[in-house]
Amino acid sequence: MLDYVRNLGITTMELLPAQTFVNDSYLLDKGLTNYWGYNTIGFFAADPRFFASSTDPVHEFKEMVDRIHNNNLEVILDVVYNHTAEGNERGPTISFKGIDNASYYRLMPNEPRHYINDTGTGNTLNLSHPRVLQMVTDSLRYWVTEMKVDGFRFNLATILGREEHGFDEGGGLLDSCR
């Protein structure tokens, strides 16, 4: 397959989000599942559902990237750092809500029990907070240094520049990436 792709003149393969994610409850209620990966909950872990060996997805991911690179192709990973699988105030508490809700999520200033929903998914990560920004930049660094991906496609990229006063091209994550 990689020979075929390369012979077409393709130089880069973009992978859908491969970070650990959860299925939406409305899908589970219908007996369905989601393989798209846009409901991230673990920014440092490859989702084991994508791999033959669920006991060592890190090794398998690295081997896949090596094979793609050995065929002179780049690997771009689609990443979702604008929201998480925890949804709005009615969503489940899986991780970040329970650790430090007010730091990890953008909350309504006058009603902090409600989430700012710039993403249309129920919540927006608070990339203005230094620890959240650190988590995301550490995650990006991990996928480049450990997993050897060549770059990223940022889901809802304009949300990553959202600050309290609106979009800011010099905002936290955008400035960090520069």
**pLDDT tier at 148 (50, 70, 90 boundaries)?**
very high
Percent of the chain with pLDDT over 90: 71
pLDDT in tens, 1-56: 999 999 999 999 999 999 999 987 778 889 888 778 899 999 999 988 888 876 88
d(CA 120, CA 128): 19
Task: Give the CATH number of the domain where residue 96 resides.
Answer: 3.20.20.80
Q: What is the pTM of this model?
A: 0.92
Write the pLDDT tens digit of every residue in 108-128.
999 999 999 999 999 999 999
Task: Tell me how many domains the chain contains.
Answer: 1
Question: What is the predicted pLDDT for the residue at 55?
Answer: 80
Q: What is the pLDDT of residue 86?
A: 94
Q: Residue 155: which domain range?
A: 2-177
